[in-house]
Amino acid sequence: MTSGLRQGLTNYGDEGFSLFLRKAFIKGAGYTDEALDRKIVGIIDTGSGFNPCHGNMPSLIEAVKRGIMLQGALPIVFPTISIHEAFSHPTSMYLRNLMSMDTEEMLRAQPMDAVVLIGGCDKTVPAQLMGAISADIPAIQLVVGPMVTGSHRGVRVGACTDCRGYWAKYRADVIDLEEISAVGNELVPGVGTCGVMGTASTMACITEAMGLMPLGGASAPANGSARLRIAELSGKLAATKVMRPSSVLQKKNFENAITVLQALGGSTNAIVHLLAIAGRVPGLNLTLDDFDRIGKETPMLTDLKPSGTQYMEDFNKAGGVPTLLRYLRPRLHMDALTITGMTLGEALDRHPSSFSQTLIHPLNQPIFKSGALAVLRGNLAPNGCIIKQSSSAPHLLRHRGKAVVFSGSVDLQKRIDSEDLDVDENSVLVLQNIGPRGNPGMPEAGYIPIPKKLARRGVKDMLRISDGRMSGTAAGAIVLHVSPEASEGGLLAVVQDGDLIEVDVEKRTIELVVSRDELNKRSNVWKETVRPEVVKQRAGRGYRKLYETSVLQAHQGVDFDFLVAEKV
Ligand code: FES
Ligand code: MG
């Protein structure tokens, strides 16, 4: 018997009895000895009535099963939790580490020789990779695939960049309630992940670049036959070739992922996720500096929303990640291993060749010269913060302005649209206390809306700073992930209305222009008066307690401290 049901037989201290029991119980589900006496490939089902992005899960599972059985192995499907962006209170990020723990422990607990991880919606792929790397069993990532676009009054629309665009128009009184309701019927025209280069598609593409998914696996739409063929192939590979993450992942896999992330102008969330995923690999050190270093040398090559104009279905038709990898070849480690044991270069050589198209640009015709995602440092963010400069208004990339400060999401909601708010287009909007620990889950509130009175005057972008995140489908001159966060005593906590803030993206700096003496004074007051209150409000029980006591800062990937692998 190949390992199959024999994996991890320790529960009764008597291996023979444990195997006997396992067999007896699973026979209750109608299996024969012949079915059981073979390699077992697990399939993780993350379908849920609350996760419309994963609505094609049943057909994908069927196709994966077919692939596994074609190779003579036995597929066994099992669930883990499922996380959807819009149905995860307080945020999906809050639950990412929980899903990674669920994935890791179920992979350890149940007998299987390999696993097909099926994820898609934003946090599910990083959670699955984190769990599978920690469990270190042979694993391959399959995604549900992006949704296709809808159409509103003859204009193509897709979640969720256009959700934001239309909402901004509604806020600025450009469109009325009837029209915003009508567009709501078209933004999500079917199952699958958001149709732009948001977090879900960014994570899918960089997982492909990292070698943990077959080439071409990221971009095929959720509702097409190609998606099912990728699912079948994933099952086949899992039953035959797939290796343990520890045998595949080296720093060069992550460097390839970052190169692709920068060339895509991908989601800012991917930075946090990649740091967390790398954190699970023993001995591997990845830092924000790696993102900035690689970004400086990597032009943005793809015209995709939210930075550009096109949708995921167009990216797929243009050849998807393999085409991008071909253009990026001189900047990638072609000797990096992929999950099937081939190097990235070998896999690319075997993949159908690319053709002429206009969405993915060659290296000598970049869309944005370099560093779509840049890392800034300064007194306001000694451990770093990030900005997606490819989606910012260029005049704001070097900017000095007076702070307009909001103490948290509730304060923001209360005052942002007030006619009395002392703000103009040169102001710097600062939002405090939405970091990993301060507002558990680090909400995507970093996309601070333009104050209504300015939006009505046609102001489209302003410099905005917070310790939170923003959706991968959002755009603007938005500084995020300030570390340390306000509620951990970062200087962000003591910014006051009217303080001057200077950001220079080319120089990679962010400064609060206030004297050191004054800042020390404010910090001392904060420690004595605010800090005790912040600590008092923390939860006393449950997952939230675990989260609040263990979560790391943004520059460390927002993983739990006890889940990170040993670093040499
Ligand atoms: Fe699921 Fe955007 S909401 S991918
Ligand atoms: Mg998102």
The whole-number pLDDT of residue 1 equals 47
Q: What's the CA-to-centroid distance between 194 and ligand 2, angstroms?
A: 8
pLDDT at 472: 84
Q: Is residue 360 part of a domain?
A: no
Q: Coil, strand or helix: which one is 486? A: helix
C-alpha 388/C-alpha 291 separation (Å) is 12
- How many whole angstroms separate alpha carbon 424 and alpha carbon 138? 55
- Paired strand residues for 117: 44, 141
Q: Is 312 in the pocket of ligand 1 (CB under 6 A)?
A: no
Contact indicator for 123, 93 with CB cutoff of 8 Å: yes
DSSP annotation string for 487-525: GGT-GGGG--TT-EEEEETTTTEEEEES-HHHHHHHHHH
Verify whether ligand 1 is closer than 6 Å to residue 198 (CB atom).
yes
Reduce the secondary structure of 356-399 to three states and give it as a string. CCCCECCCCCCCECCCCEEEEEECCEEEEEEEEHHHCCHHHCEE
Domain membership of residue 9 (yes or no) is no
**Does ligand 1 come within 6 angstroms of the Cβ of 444?**
no
| Closest ligand 1 atom to Cα of 199 | 4
CA-nearest residue, atom 2 of ligand 1? 194
Tokens of 412: 């923001």
Flag the least confident range among 155-164, 423-432, 478-487: 155-164
pTM over 0.80: yes
Short-list 223, 191, 193, 187, CA closest to 205: 193
Please say whether the beta carbons of 161 and 167 come within 8 A. Answer: no
pLDDT in tens, 27-46: 999 999 999 999 999 999 99
Give the model confidence (pLDDT) of 309-352 as tens digits. 999 999 999 999 999 999 999 999 999 999 999 999 999 999 99
pLDDT tens digits along 542-564: 999 999 999 999 999 999 999 99
Euclidean distance between CA atoms 333 and 210, whole angstroms: 10
Domain boundary pick from 125, 159, 183 = 183
**Is 331 found in the same domain as 199?**
yes
Query: Which ligand has the minimum distance to the alpha carbon of residue 312?
Result: 1
CA of 86 relative to ligand 2 center, distance in Å: 9
Highest mean pLDDT among 72-76, 167-171, 536-540: 72-76
My answer on whether 475 and 413 are in the same domain is yes
The SS3 of residue 138 is coil
**Statement to judge: residues 57 and 198 lie in one domain:** yes
CA-to-CA dists, residue 475 to 39, 366, 427, 460, angstroms? 47, 19, 18, 10
Are both 228 and 265 inside the same structural domain?
yes
pLDDT(10) > 80: no
**Which pLDDT belongs to residue 2?**
56
What is the number of residues in the chain?
A: 568
Give the span between the Cα atoms of 370 and 225, in whole angstroms: 36
Q: Are residues 306 and 379 in the same domain?
A: no
Task: Please report which ligand is nearest the Cα atom of 200.
Answer: 1
Check pocket membership of 85 for ligand 1, CB cut-off 6 A.
yes
Atom from ligand 1 closest to the CA of residue 52: 1
Does the Cβ of 163 fall within 6 Å of ligand 1?
A: no
Asked if 131 and 168 sit in the same domain, the reply is: no
Decide if 356 is inside a domain.
no
Kindly report, residue by residue over 53-111, the tens digit of the pLDDT: 999 999 999 999 999 999 999 999 999 999 999 999 999 999 999 999 999 999 999 99
Residue 164 lies in a domain: yes
The rounded percent of the chain whose pLDDT value lies above 70 is 99
Is the C-beta atom of 200 inside 6 A of ligand 1? yes
Split into its structural domains, the chain has a count of 3
Q: Which atom of ligand 1 is nearest to the CA of 200?
A: 4
Query: Are residues 167 and 231 located together in one domain of the fold?
Result: no
ipTM above 0.85, yes or no: yes
- Give the residue from 230, 221, 204, 191 showing the smallest Cα distance to 56: 191
Separation between Cα atoms, residue 267 and residue 478, nearest integer Å: 12
Please indicate, yes or no, if residue 12 is contained in any of the structural domains.
Answer: no
Q: Give a yes or no: residue 366 inside a domain.
A: no
Q: Are residues 157 and 256 in the same domain?
A: no
β-bridge partners, 300: 368
Q: What are phi and psi of 365, to 5 degrees?
A: -130, 60
Could you tell me the CATH number of the domain that includes residue 398?
Answer: 3.50.30.80
The secondary element (H helix, E strand) that includes residue 481 is none
* pLDDT score for 568: 75
Rounded to the nearest angstrom, the distance between the alpha carbon of 454 and the centre of ligand 1 is 30
Q: Give the per-residue pLDDT at 473.
A: 81
pLDDT of residue 534: 87
Dist. CA 122 → ligand 2 center (Å) = 6
Helix extents (H) in 28-120: 33-36, 57-70, 92-109
Who contacts 392 (Cβ-Cβ below 8 Å, separation ≥6)?
Answer: 461, 475, 476, 477, 478, 505
Of 423, 432, 406, 509, the closest CA to residue 462 belongs to 423
Which amino acid is it at 378?
Answer: G
Which of ligand 1's atoms lies nearest the C-alpha of 193? 4
HEC string for 168-233 = HHHHCCCCCHHHHHHHHCCCCCCCCECCCCCHHHHHHHHHHHHCCCCCCCCCCCCCCHHHHHHHHH
- Same structural domain, 273 and 143: yes
The residue-averaged pLDDT of 268-293 equals 97
Shared domain check, 127 and 88: yes
Helix, strand and coil in the chain, % to nearest 5: 40, 15, 45
Nearest CA owner, ligand 1 atom 3: 85
Instruction: Look up the domain containing 163 and give its range.
Output: 150-183
Query: 301 CB under 6 A from ligand 1?
Result: no
pLDDT class for 8, splitting at 50, 70, 90? confident
Taking the centre of ligand 1 as the mean of its atom positions, its distance from the CA of residue 490, in whole angstroms, is: 31
> 64 near 74, Cβ under 8 Å?
no
- Stretch 212-231: mean pLDDT: 98
Q: How much is the mean pLDDT over the chain?
A: 95
Strands 139-143 and 114-119: parallel
The answer to the question of residue 555 being in a domain is: no
Domain end position, chosen among 132, 164, 183: 183
Tokens of 68: 């596994």
162-166, 225-229, 270-274, 433-437, range with the lowest pLDDT = 162-166
The mean pLDDT value for 150-164 works out to 92
Element at 270 (helix H, strand E): helix 269-279
Do residues 158 and 196 both lie within one domain? no
Q: Is the CB of 54 under 6 A from ligand 1?
A: no
pLDDT at 393 over 70: yes
Tell whether the model's pLDDT for residue 361 goes beyond 80. yes
Q: Is residue 544 part of a domain?
A: no
Same domain? For 510 and 491 the reply is yes
- Give percent above pLDDT 90 in the chain: 91
Residue after which a domain boundary falls, among 163, 183, 203: 183
194 lines ligand 1 (CB under 6 A): yes
